[in-house]
Amino acid sequence: MDELYALKAWKLRELLERREVSAVEVLESVLGRVARVEGEVRSYITLTEEEARSAAVSADAARAKGEEAGAAAGIPMAVKDVLCTRGVRTTCGSRMLEDYVPVYDATVVQRLRLQGLTMVGKANMDEFAMGSSTENSAFFPTRNPWDLGKVPGGSSGGSAAAVAAGEAVWALGSDTGGSIRQPASFCGLVGLKPTYGLVSRYGLVAFASSLDQVGPITRDVRDCATLLSLLAGHDPLDSTSLPGEAPDYLSALEGGVRGLRVGVPRELMQEGLTPGVREAVEGSLRLLEELGAEVSEASLPNLDYALSAYYILAPAEASSNLARFDGVRYGLRVEGAEDMLEMYGRTRACGFGAEVKRRIMLGTYALSAGYYEAYYGQAQKVRTLIVADFEKAFSRFDVLVSPTSPTPAFGLGEKVEDPLSMYLSDVCTIPVNLAGIPAISVPCGLEGGLPVGLQIMGRVLEEAVLLRTARALEEALDFRASPDPVRGEGK
């Protein structure tokens, strides 16, 4: 048998239910892995070993009594440090919240606690989820377990790196413009951005409230379906939460793709793709055809404007959301100012990093008098056109398919001084957030020893179709490559 830390959650659950292994043994395997590789990978901002051990002991005690343990019991998890955790500091990767300890749990964390959450720690991230490489963390960059000289993606890079490196079995991330799917792609994992409103945002520290969604990062599609089932469903504490309970996504996995209509947006298959990404995606499309799907070209004509619209709308919302971090109520306060205005300025100058300041300034400018309609108003109109493009495409197709990212993981430091180049790494994922639809990334090949991700997009609330499609492709591809962060290269 493989090391316990390397197994998928569903396999561990089977072993735990048969009591062939204990939750404590699973956890100690993962913590042992953390001890060996965390110094190189740097997935976590805060480790919660004692809390995890307590949860593992409780899971074993419940099973020993013949009681039913929750679906998350005994499965070590990383939680992105943008989600509030009662009694455990939540930094958002920022000096502004370096010492902030919430008094409540985010709804998704609370739901997982009811299912036996075994939280190994809070995962590193780009500051306030603003970035595509986890280099914008105020504390340290996270490294890609496939190649320690590469980034793991962002902003959920710590979550993805932890799962890929064996420092967690599955993880929670958040996705505002690709921050679950792009790290999953870079780290050879499955990552799903749910329909806007399917998963509660209560307790998620907001970046852009009309775009943010919490979702799973896992080692395979079955685990993704299981974790999504635990997260989804109406939450009265979130005014944007959709009504109704979540379906059992696990039961909808099988069935294949015969007769499925697959569209390939030409706008996402143009210049900018590396040869290996193009080859892996085209190979996956041929495989879908062999499995019985009908594959043909689609068009989303307004996608050329998506990136520009996103980088007006998201910073505008960030400008509003981050105004609360002023040194008055909580978080960092720089002392020694002569008056309140000086205190505001010095606190925000010291507490926020360069990328966060850049986006606050962009957003504040876009919302300012005289420019609101020219920038923010126009961007909202573009967003409406993009929603209409997707609706028209989904009248012909059941799913749309594209690369998750135009390239595999890039080098640490390679794009830090070139923000536009960094922003372009999310060109395939951003339209999904603007439209509020679900999308999943699954590994579909390698380029230069680094994983390539395939993005599958679906209609609103049709996560079950995405998961079924991803499952069929996953089984056919049989992607088994894995990283070795000790050596710093995939094997």
**What strands lie across the sheet with 190-193, from one edge to the other?**
44-47, 118-123, 76-80, 170-175, 213-218, 190-193, 439-447, 450-458, 399-403, 261-265, 294-298
Q: Which two tokens stand for residue 289?
A: 């055809």
User: Pairing mode, if any, of strands 118-123 and 44-47?
Assistant: antiparallel
Q: Which amino acid is at 188?
A: G
The structure tokens 């925000």 sit at 348
* Dihedral, CA of residue 205, residue 209, residue 211 and residue 217, to nearest 10: 20
User: Pairing mode, if any, of strands 44-47 and 261-265?
Assistant: unpaired
* Sequence-distant (≥ 6) Cβ neighbours of residue 306 within 8 angstroms: 382, 386, 427, 430, 431, 434
Instruction: Look at the chain and count its residues.
Output: 491
Residues 223, 460, 271, CA angle at the centre, nearest 5°? Answer: 85
Question: Which are the catalytic amino acids?
Answer: 80, 155, 179
CA–CA distance, 316 with 364 (Å, rounded to integer): 6
CA–CA distance, 79 with 163 (Å, rounded to integer): 11
Q: Which two tokens stand for residue 170?
A: 């599955």
Buried b (16+ CB within 10 A) or exposed e, 61-87: ebbeeeeebbbbbbbbbbbbbbbbbee
Report which DSSP code applies to 273: -
Q: What separation in angstroms does the CA of 393 have from each of 233, 390, 430?
A: 27, 5, 17
**Got the DSSP string for 179-233?**
TTHHHHHHTT-EEEEPPTTTB--TTBPPSSTTT-EEEEEESSHHHHHHHHHHHBS
